[in-house]
């Protein structure tokens, strides 16, 4: 058992995957994981153990069983045998073999008949998993060899390349831009953050171009990863600037988390460009709409609640109940300060999010309507046309045409 535990930790540390050891009655002997799995995932996994056991009993000793469940989570299992008798199994997983997108998560929710409130927990959970594609077969082979063969404790030795240049002695200008260019870029950064702090979207957007730079050298051979890292940094700086502009932390946290997930899920430079502009727009809007110095307490609370829950089934009454104000009082104050009714504001917020998803180009119009909170496709199309003067399909077509022309 001590040797088996050592091997399991070796697998966990090498591949960053959860691992379980079960006896032949499915009793857990060892469980190594980060313990953040949604309960529905744990219950689904229990149902697969019998299938894994049947497959492994029939297979030869050096086999591993590969299994993918209805949540598109994959597992590998290797039998524990003693004197040719089946004593249990080691289950490695879950891990992913597909890229997680909005479509991916919505399909999982649909296949498992989950309510919309599962979206955020699933996004966070999938983000924490390792994606082994296309190397899972090779890793399965390694796991079999680790578990079946005797464990050998390795020793590490280090050596130094005497000819290697000391990076501590290299000055930034030797591999980056010269000092003047760096100064200009940081001045542009200060301008960009200032415009976000005061909620000036137009000038903030212009400042993005001045602030741009090539940082691909920071992750050699992987420019997309370098750009993602830079966009993550931008998300953090924009959040701090909006905080200085008076936006409360709980709302900024929601914006920051949303974009962190979208940045990591991006697959192209153009997608990261779109996210950069979208982040600036949303942080500026937060300053304009939710700054402490603006709006009465009732309207500020309503705006914050709507912007966090616009994709759910909400209305004037449910918002009033949630924030603890009278419905009539809320409606009157909101209309006076926003020049919009509560329902009109909700619909505009939904359409703004729909436009962002359309421009990303990763979901169908029907899926987008559901994702932003419309229960009916026809009603989504009607509201979209009322607000934008064209249907969602027409907007998608014009956006694709514009992208083609720019290319």
Q: Are 377 and 366 in contact (CB under 8 A)?
A: yes
Task: Indicate the pLDDT class of residue 175, thresholds 50, 70 and 90.
Answer: very low
Is the pLDDT reported for residue 292 higher than 50? no
What is the rounded average pLDDT of the residues 83-99? 86
Encode pLDDT of 60-80 as tens digits. 878 888 888 889 899 999 998
Q: Are 12 and 18 in contact (CB under 8 A)?
A: yes
The confidence score (pLDDT) of residue 39 equals: 77
The confidence score (pLDDT) of residue 348 equals: 92
Burial class (CB in 10 A: 0-12, 13-18, 19+), 180: exposed
The confidence score (pLDDT) of residue 319 equals: 94
Beta bridge partners of 89: 22, 79
Task: Say which residue the tokens 């014009």 belong to.
Answer: 398
Q: Are 125 and 38 in contact (CB under 8 A)?
A: yes
Which of 28-32, 90-94, 201-205 has the highest average model confidence (pLDDT)?
Answer: 90-94
Q: Rounded to whole angstroms, how far apart are CA atoms 84 and 82?
A: 5
User: Beta 19-23 vs 85-95: how paired, if at all?
Assistant: antiparallel
Neighbours of 221 (CB within 10 A): 7
What is the rounded average pLDDT of the residues 335-351? 92
The three-point CA angle 32-37-39 to 5° equals 120
Integer CA distances (angstroms), 300 to 2, 289, 295, 338, in order: 58, 8, 6, 11
Neighbours of 112 (CB within 10 A): 15
The confidence score (pLDDT) of residue 174 equals: 46
The confidence score (pLDDT) of residue 170 equals: 44
As a whole-number percent, the residues of the chain with pLDDT over 70 amount to 84
Is the pLDDT reported for residue 344 higher than 90? yes
The confidence score (pLDDT) of residue 290 equals: 66
The four Cα atoms 98, 99, 102, 106 give a dihedral, to 10 degrees, of 10
Task: Indicate the pLDDT class of residue 294, thresholds 50, 70 and 90.
Answer: low
The confidence score (pLDDT) of residue 98 equals: 81
In Å, how far from its chain's centre is CA 250? 18
Domain parsing of the chain, residue ranges: 2-148, 176-294, 295-407
The confidence score (pLDDT) of residue 219 equals: 58
The confidence score (pLDDT) of residue 177 equals: 46
Fold of 2-148: Beta-Lactamase (3.30.450)
Is the pLDDT reported for residue 180 higher than 60? no
**In the predicted model, what is the mean pLDDT of the chain?**
80
Encode pLDDT of 237-284 as tens digits. 898 888 877 777 767 887 888 888 888 888 788 888 888 888 999 898
Do 2-148 and 295-407 agree at the fold level?
no
As a whole-number percent, the residues of the chain with pLDDT over 90 amount to 15
CATH 1.10.10.60 fits 295-407, yes or no: yes
The confidence score (pLDDT) of residue 215 equals: 55
What is the rounded average pLDDT of the residues 44-52? 85
Q: Rounded to whole angstroms, how far apart are CA atoms 377 and 368?
A: 9
Q: Which of 257, 210, 260 is nearest to 231 (CA)?
A: 260
Angle between helices 179-197 and 201-211 (to 10 degrees): 160
The confidence score (pLDDT) of residue 182 equals: 63
Q: Which of 131, 136, 112, 146 is nearest to 43 (CA)?
A: 112
Is the pLDDT reported for residue 372 higher than 80? yes
The confidence score (pLDDT) of residue 341 equals: 95
The confidence score (pLDDT) of residue 404 equals: 47
Is the pLDDT reported for residue 407 higher than 60? no
């Amino acid at each position: 058992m001590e040797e088996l535990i050592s091997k399991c930790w070796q697998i966990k540390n090498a591949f960053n995957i959860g691992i379980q050891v079960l006896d032949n009655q499915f009793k857990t002997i060892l469980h190594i994981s980060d313990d953040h799995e949604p309960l529905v995932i744990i219950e689904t996994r229990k149902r697969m153990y019998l299938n894994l056991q049947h497959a492994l009993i029939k297979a030869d000793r050096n086999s591993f069983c590969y299994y993918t469940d209805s949540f598109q989570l994959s597992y590998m299992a290797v039998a524990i045998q003693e004197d040719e008798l089946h004593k249990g199994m080691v289950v490695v997983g879950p891990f992913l073999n597909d890229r997680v997108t909005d479509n991916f998560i919505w399909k999982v929710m649909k296949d498992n008949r989950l309510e919309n409130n599962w979206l955020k927990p699933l996004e966070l959970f999938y983000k924490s998993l390792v994606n082994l594609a296309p190397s899972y077969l090779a890793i399965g082979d390694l796991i079999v060899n680790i578990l079946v063969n005797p464990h050998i404790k390795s020793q590490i030795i280090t050596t130094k390349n005497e000819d290697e240049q000391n990076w501590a002695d290299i000055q930034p200008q030797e591999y980056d831009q010269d000092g003047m260019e760096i100064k200009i870029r940081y001045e542009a950064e200060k301008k960009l953050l200032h415009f976000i702090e005061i909620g000036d979207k137009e000038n903030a957007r212009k400042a993005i171009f001045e602030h741009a730079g090539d940082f691909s050298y920071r992750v050699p051979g992987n420019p997309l990863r370098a750009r993602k890292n830079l966009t993550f940094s931008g998300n953090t700086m924009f959040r701090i600037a909006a905080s200085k502009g008076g936006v409360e932390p709980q709302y900024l946290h929601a914006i920051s988390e949303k974009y962190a997930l979208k940045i990591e899920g991006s697959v192209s430079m153009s997608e990261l460009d779109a996210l950069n502009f979208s982040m600036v727009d949303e942080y500026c809007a937060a300053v304009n709409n939710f700054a402490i110095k603006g709006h009465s307490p009732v309207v500020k609370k309503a705006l914050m609640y709507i912007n966090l829950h616009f994709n759910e089934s909400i209305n004037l009454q449910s918002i009033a109940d949630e924030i603890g104000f009278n419905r009539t009082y809320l409606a009157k104050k909101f209309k006076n300060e926003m020049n919009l009714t509560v329902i009109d504001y909700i619909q505009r917020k939904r359409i703004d999010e729909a436009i962002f998803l359309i421009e990303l180009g990763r979901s169908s119009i029907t899926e987008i309507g559901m994702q932003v909170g419309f229960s009916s496709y026809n009603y989504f199309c009607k509201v979209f046309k009322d607000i934008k003067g064209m249907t969602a399909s027409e907007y998608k077509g014009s956006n694709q045409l514009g992208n083609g022309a720019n290319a």
